[in-house]
Chains A and B, each alone.
Chain A
């Protein structure tokens, strides 16, 4: 008897049992179940045999319907599952019988390359990244990527969502390590091997363990090559102009920012850079500089000034506040800084206290006891006629302690009921900030109407305005709501601050922009 026949017979026995009922089962059923139990054991199905025997025994006169019900159910479960598995097994066996061996038309994965790569640098073109590398034989390899989003202000340090790496990566980490390709598809040309995002594989990042192959000098007149070279950068009337061996070198905003920082301190107008270049037809692109390499075209923090540059010429209290700004960046002791800030927090002057509070906020201190002063200022009879900046400053102080209430928002609206001055974009930023905090329902229409005025092409009126604009930008950037961005790139803010450097007292604009870490080097550096 085959297992299939046996299971069919078991189902038949169960049918007989259910048709006749458990009260008076068919008298021939026990002997039939006994035969089936023997057959099941003969086939090696001991569990099924046991269930059959149990049901056979339960059909005796000394057992009641409850025991019979349990026994038949156990048999039903076992035989049903067994039949299901057997059906699939037989189906598998029949598939085997019909198999035709390996089929020639089987899909094959696209041919790929297994290799290790040493990154040389990254070129950014129209939102596309080209990661230039060397393979172990010194060959040029380019991996192309088009990330879902790219922060043009800080390409090296902000995580990007990469199609090539199929996840979030930091380009700074990519450039610091080595890359391993496994069956990565690509195209080989005469000059290089080019790969892109793949469906079945992705490049793997590893920490650098072996030295990169030597890179030759860029041949003169090369139109598509990678190599070392010297770049000479000169400040001209229209900005920076760079060339290498008589061929122009592209000066990206980040490279220009870096050159500005380098020359601001020594007052020169010419910079000479030895680095890795990629030749692109009639122009060249700087990839990296020096050994170990730095990446001025990607990393806005490539060049930093020492902290002493800022602390020395400032009055002591402002120097302390600048230190507070820089403290989280350079990893200082927060408790020591909090103690140092205590005298500033007791000053009676509102502007000074405001500045100190900003400093305290930067290091995560709880709001000090200056809110009563702000509240008292707001309570003045002439508060409604005050300048918007003054009023908002007080509101901002107040909000550190409790959210902006409807009363305060109403006060502002009453004070600034006049039409918005389209040219006063500090005011636009302030009102955007307040709207987002106090009247979020109207934030989207407000920003839709005025947000584009906060564009990068605007000249910042002063450092204080920069501070407020940046704060508004930060509120939007950190918010979850799908508000239209204020479109104020950090690089534009940092460059504006840099240009205003000689005429400002330093710490105010440094506090205002997130570019602090791009400007200051760690303590003692």
Chain B
């Protein structure tokens, strides 16, 4: 073990002791005896976590500091339960870290637990076969526009995501336009092409959380699409199976709360309603067994197309046979955020002067009014 690794491990161990002490002190005095002196303590603990390369803990501590400040400011948005949850998760993470350190884990083996300040991409030895599930566009508050395509990789049996990101100052704020541009200097194919084919990526690099890097020496070659089999890993027969998937992701309190990807064939699409107060568009739908669920999208400026497409889901000319979506459980509703419309028979999609045949239409970036069954 080199000196740098040994030093990092030493700092991690010291940080766990210090964080244990801090959390116990918070618990001992209770919320009603908290003073503003706790805020710099939490900041100092976040600094300690930062120097020990405990990125996830650092972020949790800074969030706890913000929550604590809300409490001290008598902010009506403060929720005691959320504060308790945050302390509980932080404490669990510290315990899990201590346990792994006692087992002799090295810093690189702790990334799933403590996070990493910046993603590292590891080269994949074999060629990576990828099949698209969904493509979506986004615009950040920091003035970046991007397109992300999520793929299923039978090679690793995981979902991987590839993105292109550009500053809005040069590329505008329309992700749909970005989808037509080359992925990188070395890969001349556009993200839209990647999202409508199956590919083998040579020289791929993948991060621990499934981000696929298409920069550098990576290049892609077309392979035969496996059709509906690519959807099998996320296929759900009905809404109850979607709920089951939601439950599967909630067994580990330390696991990141990500909405699961699901593929569901819906039997009925209702009318689209718009909620201007919450900025959402909603369609009430039913699965094959008649179980109700909601299709819901935000009405952000760059997601207007998604809202318009939601209105057209019930149109017989473009009505999809299935949807690839992210699943959420609201208090009384099962919500799906649709990403891709899937058709059993290829549909024609008019793009400019061309007519494409495809089984998938990516709802955030491709208009359904140009689609005909």
Contact = CB atoms under 8 A, between A and B. Distances in A.
Interface of A: 11, 14-15, 18-23, 65-66, 68-69, 72-73, 76-77, 80-81, 84-85, 87-88, 91-92, 94-96, 98-107, 109-110, 148, 161-163, 165-168, 185, 197-202, 480, 482
A481 to B, nearest CB: 9
B91 A480 contact: no
B359 interface: yes
B88 A66 contact: no
A480 B332 contact: no
A511 to B, nearest CB: 31
Given A77-B253, A102-B288, A106-B265, A72 B27 contact: yes
Given A102-B289, A148-B222, A199-B227, A85 B27 contact: no
16 contacts: A14-B84, A15-B84, A18-B31, A18-B84, A22-B30, A23-B28, A69-B27, A73-B88, A73-B91, A80-B85, A95-B240, A101-B290, A102-B288, A107-B266, A161-B223, A162-B224
B224 A161 contact: yes
B329 interface: yes
Contacts of A105: 267-268
Contact of A19 (B23, B32, B240): B32
**Minimum-distance CB pairs A-B, first 9:** A21-B30, A100-B290, A103-B267, A106-B267, A107-B321, A199-B227, A99-B290, A106-B288, A76-B88
B24 A15 contact: no
Given A65-B27, A101-B290, A161 B222 contact: yes
B329 A11 contact: no
B31 A103 contact: no
Say whether chain B's binding surface is mostly helix, strand, loop, or mixed: mixed
A166 to B, nearest CB: 5
Contacts, number: 155
B345 interface: yes
Interface string B253-265: 1000000000001
Contacts of A101: 289-290
Contacts of B29: 21, 23
Given A21-B27, A101-B290, A103-B290, A167 B224 contact: yes
A76 B268 CA distance: 40
Nearest to B266: A107
Nearest to B85: A80
Contacts of B226: 166-167
B344 A199 contact: yes
A161 B91 CA distance: 53
Nearest to B291: A95
Contacts of B265: 106-107
A77 B31 contact: no
Contact of B33 (A21, A77, A80, A198): A21
Nearest to A169: B224
In this complex, the interface size class of chain B, counting residues with CB under 8 Å from chain A, is: 35 or more
B251 interface: yes
A162 B247 CA distance: 39
A482 B202 CA distance: 12
Nearest to A11: B81
B288 A163 contact: no
A69 B224 contact: no
Contacts of B251: 81
A81 B250 contact: yes
B32 A95 contact: no
Contact of A166 (B229, B243, B346): B229
B332 A94 contact: yes
A15 B266 CA distance: 42
B322 interface: yes
Contacts of B321: 107
A166 B131 CA distance: 12
Contact of A22 (B28, B329, B359): B28
B190 to A, nearest CB: 17
B292 interface: yes
A105 B359 CA distance: 20
Interface string B327-369: 0010111100000000111100000000000010000000000
Given A76-B88, A163-B225, A167-B226, A91 B329 contact: yes
B227 A200 contact: yes
A131 to B, nearest CB: 15
Contact of A15 (B81, B223, B225, B293): B81
B292 A103 contact: no
B219 interface: yes
Contacts of B205: none
Given A19-B32, A76-B85, A103-B286, 8 more contacts: A18-B27, A18-B30, A22-B30, A96-B291, A98-B292, A99-B290, A99-B292, A199-B346
Contacts of B243: 88, 91-92, 95
Given A85-B247, A107-B322, A168 B224 contact: yes
Contact of B345 (A18, A110, A168): A110
